[in-house]
Structure 1
Amino acid sequence: EIIANRNNQLQLVSIQLAWRTEQLLEDIQTDEHNALLKTINKAISSRRAMIIRIVGLGLLAILSAAILVVYILRDIRRERRDRNRILEAKAETERIMQQRERLLLTITHDIKAPAASIAGFIDLLSEYVDRPKAVGYLQSIAGSSKHLLQLVSALLDYHQLESGKAELHEVSFAPASLVRECTDGMQPQAMAKHLRLTADIRVEDTMMCRSDAFRIKQVVNNLVSNAIKYTDKGEVTVTVVVANARLTISVEDTGCGMTPEEQQRVFLAFTRLPGAQGKEGVGLGLSITREIVQMLGGTINVSSRKGSGSKFKVVIPVEVLANSAPVIATAKIDNNKSEEAATVSHDAKDISVLIVDDDKLQQQLLTEMFSRMEGINLNVVTTTHANEAIRLANEMKPRIVFTDIEMPEMNGSEIMRRIRSKMEATFVAMTAHEQSIMPQLRKDGFDACLFKPFNVQTLAATICQLTGIIVKVKAESSATETDSLRSALLPFTDGDPEAERQIIDDIHKSIDEYLDMLKDVSDADQIAKAAHKAMPLLEMIQPGKNSWLTPLTPEHIGETEEKEREKLTIQLVERLKQIKNL
């Protein structure tokens, strides 16, 4: 019984343990199931969040792509529009450049040529005008035409240099002669302002170099002219040195000088410094000079102080020639023609001349100039049309053909070629271009060149060179020397006797004063003072023809030998007495 109870108890315990175990297993399964569900739910939530993020990123990417496409399309449209604008701007620029070329051609032919004709007619008219007011007006017109020609020439030079169309023409030249020629040519300008212009030439006269002599001369002339323009008192010195295949030219003045800021701007085109007020020019001279120097492979710089003058220094590479002689520019004339011209008899002076120029004013000027020549009979025929010129040439067989270079129907070179293919003739080019085109004209076959404006003396010299006949220019004016003196000394009185008498009395008193100073030919100070005072009077009577008086001026009398000084003093006394008597 005890065992039976014990077994029952054990069975009960076993049953309870089995139930408890089953309950634990069920609890474990339930916990595992719940944990698994929780894990699954968490994983599902994570995946859902990830999907949402992916979808969001995708939508954002799509939106970004759409925006990018919009911007790309907009940029493409802008690029296409800008490209069209650039093409239109390029076409417009090319059109403007073509118009600019036509404008410059107009300036060359339709402005410079008439201005040159005006200058030529003024030269001819000056001998017919003797009324004081008319003389003053004529001088004003001459000054204006000269200024216009200088302005047009400067604009053309600047355009050629800026556009790169200017060409170099190398020749052999003597630097000493070149600089001396430039300073001699500028002496009248310096004398008019009572300045001393000197050339310090530190090279041998026989030294020869090779470069573009025309351009170098243009540089020297520009710098010297500019120095004279801005110097009111003192001197201008030009120094030339050749060393290490370098030509160094310095132009130093005692003028107004420049500040450092002005030195930075002085080479800019169309720049006018404050000190240039009241001076002629448009601010192109130094800009053109710099362009020329750079074209020659050189350098230019300036050193200056306000109120203490300026110094421009140009260094240009050159080829120094050994054992060479100067190359002199001569017209290209056939040997047979030269011999024929040299053997022309005294009686063979009938020359047929054909003038081809579309400017009737220039034709009239040339015809008038030819009428002023003595010692030669000229049969002059003019025409404005190229085809008519060729026809006339076939009919008249001209000895000399003068032709303009720029004409609307046909240029002068083509006219020359067509006429020369049918007959022998001498051809002279007439052009308003600057002289650097001379080598090209000679290469084309022209025998001589006339650069507008030219005067009757230049024309006569050309005729003499081409024909071998000595040609003189006759004076058409019938005015006496007294009339010329009245025209020079009595400006703007317009025939008023009282005004004329007062001026004449003043001139007499001045001349008497000068003569008193010149009584003692050994008193250099008094002679220099008299020469200085008399110079303006002599310049009014004979402008540009009083360089003989320079050795007696205060700046140069110390360098003049005593015999030369006495000789010039006597000459000055005689001239003053002559003026007084007249």
Structure 2
Amino acid sequence: MPMPESPPPVPILHPNEPQQRQLDKLQRIVEVLMRRVEASGEDSFNSYAHFQTAVALEAQVKARTRDLEEAVTLLNQSRARLAEAKAEAETARADLSNALEAVREGFALFAPDDRLIMSNRRFARMLPDVVGHITPGLLLEDYIRLVSQSSELVLSGGAIPEDWRRDRLHRLRQFHSDFVVELKGDRWIQVSQQRTPDGGTAILQTEVTDMVQLERQQRDKLLDDQARLIRATLDHINQGICIFDADDRLAAWNDQFFALMSPPMELMRTGTGFHRFVDHFTTAHIFRSLDEPQTVVDWVADRRNREPLCVEIQRNDGSILDVFTDRTPDGGVVICLTDVTKERAITAALHEVNETLEQRVKARTAEMQQARDAAERANTSKSRFLAAASHDLLQPLNAAKLFLSTLEETEMNEMQTDVTARVKSAFDSVETILGALLEISKLDAGTSATVSVFPLNRLLAPLREEFQAFAARKGLRFHVVDCGLDVESDASYLRRIIQNLASNAIAYTESGKVLVGARRRGSELLIEVHDTGPGIPTDQQERVFHEFQRIERQDAAPGMGLGLTIVRRACDLLGHRLTMESREGVGTRFAVHVPFRTPGPVSRAPQGIRVTTVATSLDGMIPLVIENEAEVRLGMMTLLDSWGASPIEATNLAEADELVQELGILPDVILADYHLDEGESGLQAIRSLRRVNGPIPAVLITANRSERLIARAEQEDVLLLYKPLQPVRLRTYLNTLQRPA
């Protein structure tokens, strides 16, 4: 029978007991063993063995004690270093906090788990009703929700707090995002948020109220300048003009409108509603009948169908007004009033004379014819004035663009550069609109066409350089196919037609290509412009040829809607048929049907100037500027001087000749305006100076785009540049003349 296992012995000494307790146990063990040795000699051997064991245990206890003391020492050292590191971390955190408090922007840092780690007081004070919630541990999503519900936040465009919150959360998915927030009291905050390398989020808030207000002042000043230009134009028209915006609020009017309608002064304020005019004229008993005025009121109210309307209204004082209404590109309304009392009186008198003697009928008929001619001349005076005054209208615009080009050469800060770019863009828009108005005015004034036979390629080849860069900036392919045929047309008007079609195609095409070329069809040559744009809806294909009519689409190109109007009127003047094919989502093709002659050798069109952006210094060059307009002359001199040249100036040929003789130095180039005082022309001045001083390079600057002047300039080897002058073209030409020192 096996013996039961004895339990394991209990250790006398436990290593975890205090050192002193272990020493006390060993001391008692030694004393007991010694007594046993002394009491019994027979057990001395075993007792001695126990004694040796006790001595060995005492040595182990001492070794353990030393190890324990070393461990305690290391632990105390670690605790000291930990305390120092903690103190340094607290100091660094305090320094960081003080630095954040010193910056002028609000700053907050959120951990990767989107909880707020730290922020400065400026960050919390941006929104007073949220400041109490900005504490460490705040979730980023909760912070955005608090801001969206803040009473200080201004929401625009009919947005609600939930929309703003969703948009802000969407921005968190981006690595970096900048946006501007409007607060009450016309305050603006720019928010910049960015992900940190460890996945956290840093938010920087900067108050930009001063910058926004300054930009607003600059924009208002620019708009005021444009408004003055429009006001000056309206005041020179002998018809009453009144314009309402898309919300039927008064936007602009001229003095003639006030003279014809005599409304109360309190109504003639920007923003007055159209209904207030209706109430006044209805209750003032100004008209003999309210049927015709009501037709105009109904037309304004019907926003779905606003085709141009023409109606005649008779006042109680006997005067008769011809009222024409049309819509503006922005959805507003323009009302044009013409006093036709005299014309109607002549017509009434004619009917009366018809009932009397035949002799009186003939006499009155002659008088009526004279009066009708006078009325037609008065009705077209505006168009003739604009058509004849192109030089005077373009002169100040040309001077302004020269000064702007000089300003661009100077060093400016970012804000000044931005304002200068905006002003230049505004002048480019004015130039485009003014050019279109002048073209239409010339056509309305009955300008005759000069038909000749010339190579079509003379018009097509320059299109490449003219539109290649414009198309490339939009990512489009622009291709012109050469044609070796001669056509019978007016070169100036045909060039304008093709330019307008190509420009319109590039403006409305977002991707793909634009192709310009020609093909035979029977006895006609079809000059075609193809594009891969959005196409024109069937119900709008006729309207696009009307004044101020454009395709109703959100991504429509900016403009006044005059390009295709000029194309159609010019084609009607030349007797060329204009056709169009368009499919939505595919593209559009315009074709001008022109007579052609038997093909000859392919004509080589003048190459002109290849425009570059090289800004070579003009040090040492002496240009002679001949210009009678002081402002334009000053602008040209300032521009040339900023390019490093040493220009000299004269107002006419006599001054230029005297100046050259006095200096004894021939100019490197002559820059002459075409229209000078007392019937003198810049071309005559260039010819005279060359006759005396030899073949000096020359540039003629003019607003005259006639084919005759082009031929004369080419014959006399004079470069022709048009107003408003493009400084980059002049700079490129002068660079080609620059000689090495």
Q: TM-score, normalised by structure 1?
A: 0.53
Distance 1:323 1:191 in 2: 31
Distance 1:174 1:422 in 2: 34
CA contact (8 A) 1:296 1:317 kept: no
Q: CA deviation at 1:148?
A: 1.4
Q: CA deviation at 1:213?
A: 6.0
Q: CA deviation at 1:89?
A: 3.7
CA contact (8 A) 2:526 2:594 kept: yes
CA gap of 1:82–1:274, structure 2 versus 1, over 3 A, is farther
CA contact (8 A) 1:429 1:446 kept: no
CA gap of 1:76–1:119, structure 2 versus 1, over 3 A, is same
Matched residue, 2:39: none
Aligned-residue RMSD, C-alpha? 4.4
CA contact (8 A) 2:624 2:671 kept: yes
Identity %: 21
Question: Where does 1:180-579 land on structure 2 (aligned, <5 Å)?
Answer: 182=463, 185-194=466-475, 196-199=476-479, 201=481, 207=484, 209=486, 215-233=493-511, 235-242=513-520, 246-275=524-553, 279-293=557-571, 298-306=576-584, 308-323=586-601, 326=604, 328=606, 353-373=623-643, 378=646, 380-383=648-651, 399=667, 401-407=670-676, 409-412=678-681, 416=685, 419=688, 423-424=692-693, 426=696, 428-434=699-705, 436=707, 438-439=709-710, 441-442=712-713, 447-463=718-734, 469-470=738-739
Q: CA deviation at 1:358?
A: 2.8
Per-residue Cα deviation, 1:272-314 (whole angstroms, up to 9, x for no partner): 4534996433332123223444556542201224555422123
Per-residue Cα deviation, 1:487-524 (whole angstroms, up to 9, x for no partner): xxxxxxxxxxxxxxxxxxxxxxxxxxxxxxxxxxxxxx
CA gap of 1:392–1:218, structure 2 versus 1, over 3 A, is same
Please point out which of 112, 120, 124 is paired with 2:402. Answer: 120
CA gap of 1:276–1:104, structure 2 versus 1, over 3 A, is farther
Asked whether 1:83 is paired with 2:366, we answer yes
CA contact (8 A) 2:578 2:591 kept: yes
CA gap of 1:268–1:299, structure 2 versus 1, over 3 A, is same
Q: Partner of 1:402: helix, strand, or coil?
A: strand
Unaligned runs of 5+ in 2: 1-351, 610-618
Matched residue, 1:141: 423
Q: CA deviation at 1:404?
A: 1.9
Of 76-85 and 148-157, the range deviating more from structure 2? 76-85
Distance 1:153 1:161 in 2: 13
Distance 1:86 1:70 in 2: 14
Per-residue Cα deviation, 1:225-279 (whole angstroms, up to 9, x for no partner): 2123233455544454356675433333343433444222333344445349964
Equivalent position amino acid for 1:221 in 2: Q
Distance 2:430 2:557 in 1: 14
CA contact (8 A) 1:393 1:419 kept: no
Q: CA deviation at 1:431?
A: 0.7
Matched residue, 2:51: none
CA gap of 1:442–1:239, structure 2 versus 1, over 3 A, is closer
Asked whether 1:109 is paired with 2:395, we answer no
Q: TM-score, normalised by structure 2?
A: 0.43
Distance 1:188 1:421 in 2: 36
Unaligned runs of 5+ in 1: 1-68, 332-348, 473-582
Distance 1:285 1:469 in 2: 39
Distance 1:93 1:301 in 2: 31
Equivalent position amino acid for 2:533 in 1: G
Q: CA deviation at 1:103?
A: 3.6
CA contact (8 A) 1:245 1:320 kept: no
Asked whether 1:158 is paired with 2:440, we answer yes
Distance 2:598 2:550 in 1: 38
CA contact (8 A) 1:245 1:319 kept: no
Whose relative contact order is higher, 1 or 2, with alpha carbons under 8 Å and at least 6 apart? 1
CA contact (8 A) 1:227 1:255 kept: yes
Equivalent position amino acid for 1:267 in 2: F
Distance 1:267 1:459 in 2: 35
CA contact (8 A) 1:256 1:275 kept: no
